[in-house]
């Protein structure tokens, strides 16, 4: 399976339009996506919507719904926000709304074991099934098929399949 992640979603009363939409801190092991820079309709003028993400181990979080789980989730969110403040100083003082997702959250909403965010392992050695099957009329699309996990890859798998079913082909120029 692929790794899982811990994500913090924030609405802040800061203008972050001067920052890039995607900020990667590879040394720190996390990334920031300022969603409202990609789509200004996601936050009122002078405010921002952002997501902070890092890889996480499913077993680092207690069972969902327990006090221990909620405490661990809160602590992990606070720690990730502190890390992001190295790039966006004062971030924690401007939070209006926040939410967080643990590997257990991803498991709950996607039914992927251990909250795998890309379904199966994303490696060259992993051969994902193609959309065509030996059963007439049965097609496979999604994160567990070619070309892989992630929003873009899942959309591409659906487009490839739909194009094949409809007979659409790219013509050579």
DSSP lists the bridge partners of residue 52 as 8, 32
In the predicted structure, residue 49 carries a pLDDT above the cut 70: yes
Rg, the chain, Cα only: 19
Q: What is the percent of the chain with per-residue pLDDT over 90, rounded to a whole number?
A: 58
Q: What predicted TM-score, i.e. pTM, was given to this entire model?
A: 0.77
Which of 25-39, 47-61, 83-97, 122-136 comes out lowest in average pLDDT? 122-136
How high is the pLDDT of residue 159?
A: 86
Strand 22-25, strand 95-101: pairing: unpaired
Q: How confident is the model at residue 170 (pLDDT cuts 50, 70, 90)?
A: low
Residue 69 sits at the vertex; the CA angle it makes with 34 and 64, to the nearest 5 degrees, is 90
In the predicted structure, residue 38 carries a pLDDT above the cut 80: yes
- Structure-token pair, residue 92: 């924690």
Q: How many Cα atoms within 13 Å fall on the side-chain side of residue 24?
A: 2
């Amino acid at each position: 399976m692929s790794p899982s992640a811990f994500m913090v979603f924030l609405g802040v009363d800061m203008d972050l339009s001067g920052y890039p939409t995607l900020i990667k801190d590879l040394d720190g092991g996390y990334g920031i996506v300022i969603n409202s820079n990609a789509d200004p309709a996601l936050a009122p003028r002078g405010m921002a919507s952002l997501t902070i993400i890092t890889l996480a181990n499913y077993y680092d979080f207690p069972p969902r719904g327990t006090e221990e789980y909620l405490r661990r989730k809160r602590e992990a969110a606070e720690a990730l926000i502190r890390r992001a403040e190295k790039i966006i100083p004062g971030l924690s003082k401007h939070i209006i709304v926040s939410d967080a997702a643990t590997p257990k959250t991803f498991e709950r909403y996607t039914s992927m074991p251990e909250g795998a965010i890309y379904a199966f392992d994303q490696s060259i050695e992993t051969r994902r099934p193609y959309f065509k099957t030996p059963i007439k009329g049965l097609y496979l699309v999604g994160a567990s098929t070619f070309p892989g996990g992630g929003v873009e890859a899942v959309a591409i798998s659906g487009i490839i399949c739909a194009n094949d079913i409809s007979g659409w082909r790219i013509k050579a120029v």
